[in-house]
Amino acid sequence: MYEIIYNKAYIALTLSIIAVLAFRYRPWLEQTFAQQGEKKSFLVLAFLFRFLPFWVVYIFYGYDAQSDVQIFWRSAQEAKQLQFVYRDFDSLYSPLFAYITAIPLIFWDTARAVTLLMIVVELAVLWLTIKTYGTTNKPSNIFKALIYLCFPGPYIFCVLGGQEDIWMWGFACLVVYLWQKGKSAFVLGLTVALGLLVTKAFFVLFVPPLFLKLSDKKNFVLGMMSLGLPSLAILYYFGGTTFLMPIQLAQEPMCPNVWSVMYPFLGKWIAQFNIRMLNWIGLFVIIIVSSWQAFRLKNLELKQFIPMVWVVIFGVMMLFQIGSYSNYIFIYAMPLLFSLMDLKDKKLLIISFLIQAAAVVQVSLWFRIGKPFLSYEYFLQIKFVIEYALELIVFFGVIYWLNMVLKKYKGVNA
């Protein structure tokens, strides 16, 4: 029952040791990256830390994909048969998601193919992030990519979990990349609308802060409408109001968040609220805080603005949204490292690895002990004590990251 938890703990420890060794031999590694070139070095790291583990786990040992990947696969099979999303099959994701995940099934109809697609997309987003947020020191950029690939959260949530959360950051990063190329608010609107159609409903949280930031709001809205309205019309014409399915089905309580952390002490009070009400409270807090930060950060360049507000949005979501759980650190691990972390700050890096290691273990343990919202009597059993301790590490770890972002903002404006 707990074998997968032990394995994830071992993997997190191994990755942390590799990261320590990487810092120990950083001069030699960066010299090697410089000699081999940026693209070749990146491809070697991608093979060692993503494709090789995939081959070992799913081909050599023959394990099947687990977690949400089985759900993705079933939806993708329906999409491959050109069934209409929401009307003919259920999906918790944006309308184009199932059709994109169906592409690899044309060649290999297995859940493993979906996991492989997730790895390919993650690596593509990583390369885009390097091109957008990298410095002129290319070996240093590749070293940062190495540290990211050693992060326990992305490694386990992508390779073993086949999670898609990094797709959202891919579109946010694409917004910055395209802005640097042409500074067209209309193109940004198109990009955001495409992100809403491809990823998941959470991506809409990115829209209000970006709208508040841009001076050319009219063309941004026109860009979104030019793609969004025809898409909405098609969904409604063929499926009626079934396109609301992702919102209607996403009602399951998860942890850690402020509700699960307080539940042992305030459980009777929290239980008086239904989950829909707690969802709305969380959504209200996210929009208010992210919009407030958007006003505070509005004088920053878009390149600086987006990663800061991105971490605020999804960090606050992890704290206050009843449906948030540890996997969501995958959403902002990349911008956190490439735009907001200083690799000279060893304390920050050690704490970040600890938070991520706790996250990958906590979510597996929580599912295996019955997904409880703990009350104080649970603490008579050690497994619940351990799970709650891991919740606290992740919860306060997210607060630590958010505090770091706010300090970063003060430093920029000092």
Backbone angles phi, psi at 56, to 5 degrees: -65, -50
Tell me what the mean pLDDT of segment 47-53 comes to: 97
CA distance readout (Å), 384 to 8, 260, 395, 398, 408: 18, 13, 16, 21, 36
Vertex 37: Cα angle to 353 and 47 (nearest 5): 50
Vertex 374: Cα angle to 373 and 380 (nearest 5): 155
Helix (H) or strand (E) holding 230: helix 217-239
pLDDT in tens, 60-69: 998 887 778 9
Backbone angles phi, psi at 61, to 5 degrees: -85, -15
Which positions ≥6 away from 89 have C-beta within 8 Å? 74, 75, 78, 79, 83, 98
* The predicted structure's pLDDT at residue 182: 87
Number of neighbouring beta carbons within 10 Å of residue 15: 24
**Residue 321 CA, distance from chain mean position:** 15
Which of 191, 197, 156, 135 is CA-nearest to residue 4? 156
DSSP 3-state helix, strand, coil percentages of the chain (rounded to 5)?
A: 80, 0, 20
* The predicted structure's pLDDT at residue 249: 61
CA distance readout (Å), 357 to 56, 150, 283, 401: 21, 11, 27, 15
- Rounded Cα gap, residues 389 and 412, in angstroms: 35
pLDDT over 60 (residue 336): yes
CA distance readout (Å), 129 to 117, 118, 152, 175: 18, 16, 19, 11
First vs last Cα of the chain: how many Å apart? 52
CA dihedral 229, 230, 236, 242 (to 10 degrees): -70
* The predicted structure's pLDDT at residue 338: 94
- Rounded Cα gap, residues 156 and 6, in angstroms: 13
pLDDT in tens, 116-152: 999 999 999 999 999 999 999 999 999 999 999 999 9
- Rounded Cα gap, residues 73 and 112, in angstroms: 9
- Rounded Cα gap, residues 410 and 94, in angstroms: 36
Tell me what the mean pLDDT of segment 258-275 comes to: 88
- Rounded Cα gap, residues 114 and 98, in angstroms: 10
Which positions ≥6 away from 66 have C-beta within 8 Å? 160, 161, 162
Specify the amino acid at residue 200.
Answer: K
* The predicted structure's pLDDT at residue 63: 87
Classify burial at 398, counting beta carbons within 10 Å of its beta carbon; exposed 0-12, middle 13-18, buried 19 or more.
Answer: buried
- Rounded Cα gap, residues 155 and 388, in angstroms: 23
- Rounded Cα gap, residues 317 and 85, in angstroms: 27
pLDDT band (50, 70, 90) for residue 250: low
Helix (H) or strand (E) holding 116: helix 111-133
* Rg of the chain (C-alpha set): 21
Which of 113, 91, 115 is CA-nearest to residue 103? 113
Number of neighbouring beta carbons within 10 Å of residue 160: 24
pLDDT band (50, 70, 90) for residue 414: very low
Number of neighbouring beta carbons within 10 Å of residue 284: 11
Half-sphere CA count of 313, side-chain side, radius 13 A? 24
Helix-helix angle 3-24:346-368, to 10 degrees? 170
Provide the mean pLDDT of the chain: 92
| Token representation of residue 177 | 């990349």
Tell me what the mean pLDDT of segment 387-396 comes to: 96
* The predicted structure's pLDDT at residue 253: 86
pLDDT band (50, 70, 90) for residue 39: very high
Q: In sequence order, what E strands does 266-346 have?
A: none
